[in-house]
Every structure is written in C-alpha cells, then in structure tokens.
Amino acid sequence: MKNLLTFFFIIFTGLNAYSQEDLEVQARPPIIDMHMHTGLPHEVPAGTPALCRPEPCKGDGQATVNSVELMQKTLAAMDRYNIIKGFLSGTDWAAVQDWTKEAPGRFIASPFILKAGSAELAKLKPEYMSGRFKAMGEIGTQLNGVPPNDPSLIPYFKLAEELRLPVLIHTLGIGPYMPHFRSAAGDPLLLEEVLTSHPKLRLFVENAGYPYRDEMIAMMYQYPQLYVDVSTITWVIPRTAFYDYLKAFMRAGLGKRLMFGSDQMVWPEKIGAAVEAIEQAPFLTDEQKRDIFYNNAVRFLLLEDAEDDPVKYKKNHKD
C-alpha cells in the first residue's frame, strides 16, 4: 500500500509540475522577435561563449553551430517564451528557407546582406518575386566598413521601398570583431540621406544605434518612419548600461517605436536573456513592455492589429 501511494504521489507531482509550466507559457503574452539569425556572418567554433562587451569580460553559453540543432533550440525557446513570430535573416539563404519550411508562419524570411553589388541584387530579386523572402536585412555592410549612405546600397533601398519591405540595418558603434568593421560607419546621422531619398522606406535600426544615443534620438524625432530594436544590447553589455540607454529613449517619448529583438545568432539561450531584460526593467510599465514586445512591431510590420489599437492598423495606413 505504501509503495502504491508513493507511485501515485510521484505521478501527481510530475503532472502538476508539467501543468504549471504549460500554464506559464500560455499565460505569457505573445512576443514578436524582430531580430533573429540562422547563424553568424563569420565562423566560430562550437561551444564558443557568447559575445560580451567590454573586454575583458566573460561570456556565458555555448555556441551551437549546427543549423538543424540551432533551429530546434531556437524554436524551443520561442515556444517557451511565446514568441509567435521572428524576423529571421542569414547569410546562408538556404538555411533561412529551411527554417521557414520547418515552422510555417513563424518567421519573416530575409537575407543577411554583407556585401552590396549589382550581382547580389540580381540574385535577390527573384527571391522577392517568388515570395521566398518577405523582408530585407540585416543589412550588415558596416561589418565591412561600408556606411549606410554608400551609393552601392541605393538600389537596395529603392527596391525595399517599391516592395514595401521592412528593412533591418546594422548602424551602430559596435559589432563583431571583423577586420574591416568601423564604428564611424555606424553613426545614425548617416541614415539621413537614405531617409530623405526614400521617404516611404520602412527602416529599423538594430540596438537603437548604441551607443550613439543623442544622434539616434535626433533621427527618430525628425523621421517618424524610423524605428529601432533593442536586441544584442539586452545581453551583450552590462545590464546597467542597457537600462541607462533604454531609459533615455523612454524619457525622450520614443516608447512607441522601440521593438524587441533577441539577436539570436548561435546562442539560443540568449533569447530568454533578452526577454527577461525587458520583463525585469523596473522603470517600464506593463503597457510599455507590451509595446516593446508586441504592439510596436505589429504597427511597423503592418500586421492586422495591435493590442492597444482596436482599429485595424493596415486599413488606416496611408502611403
């Protein structure tokens, strides 16, 4: 009898624990992750700790470099945190397509653009015409020292404007340790020529242009179509530095144009770290968190509706 009671106790507690975890996922409001990757634009050995700044610092986690395993871990993290959609890019276009096929409707497929040129653009156009790609970027030409106002990018911005594609660009002061990366090429003020030449361009800047705070705020004040994400800086820099930066944008009244991103590269555990950095921000209200996690992305992506807007946004959007 004692053994039987023990058996039922184990079964009951196990089921109860599972139910609690299941309820936690169901209770978590939906999130849109505006910055995900199928890998890095450069190779790192498996098990490499995550990026961190400033040196000397010690990153945690271990890099997962196998694309299938990385996809599985990423989808598991998305399920755990109720991330219903992710803006996904990669230099390996085939991997991007594999991920979208594995999880239909879960990702917004986009190419990572490391080098700009007419030959590369010619390869891209059929991908958009077929519907295989539905966004543009990360435009990561800064990793090769090329600023956003370089003439080689003009045809890309023109195409994105014509097709009304959402565009993600790397325009900030930090990036991977690549030989041609230049911080000066990431000044957000260099976007002014782009935005004036392409006024209908749907552009968002990763990491809110960190650490170009004042320049980024000035650009967002002047160009209402410009949005930003808070992605890698949720976990790659000290939390205090991230909160100081985020507070500045909130105080500036730009909370409606900040979007969540994890910048998942090869460290899927950083998805949770990014989510928790927003959830645990003591100066954000629940409404502000929902804007960052979901509502702002809905409006930027021209999806059907947002939690804070009962009127269908798409129907009210005018070119």
Exposed / middle / buried, residue 23 (Cβ in 10 Å: 0-12, 13-18, 19+): exposed
pLDDT at 311: 39
Stretch 179-199: mean pLDDT: 97
Q: Is the dihedral of CA 247, 248, 252, 256 positive or negative?
A: negative
pTM: 0.89
**Residue 142: how many other CB atoms lie within 10 Å:** 27
**Residue 115: how many other CB atoms lie within 10 Å:** 13
CB 292 within 8 A of CB 33: no
Beta strands, E only, the chain: 31-37, 83-90, 107-111, 136-139, 166-169, 202-205, 227-230, 258-260
* 146-157 pLDDT, tens digit each: 999 999 999 999
* 260-294 pLDDT, tens digit each: 999 999 999 999 999 999 999 999 999 999 999 99
Beta bridge partners of 136: 167
Homologous superfamily assigned to 30-316? Metal-dependent hydrolases (3.20.20.140)
Average pLDDT, whole number, for the chain?
90
Residues 6+ apart with CB under 8 A from 173: 183, 186, 209, 210, 211, 212
Residues 6+ apart with CB under 8 A from 168: 34, 35, 87, 89, 110, 135, 136, 137, 138, 139, 204, 206, 229
pLDDT over 60 at 5, yes or no: no
Q: Which two tokens stand for residue 312?
A: 């269908």
SS3 content of the chain, % helix, strand, coil (to 5): 50, 15, 40
Q: What is the C-alpha separation between 150 and 22, in angstroms, rounded?
A: 49
pLDDT over 80 at 167, yes or no: yes
The string of DSSP codes covering 269-302 is: THHHHHHHHHHT-TT--HHHHHIIIIIHHHHHHT
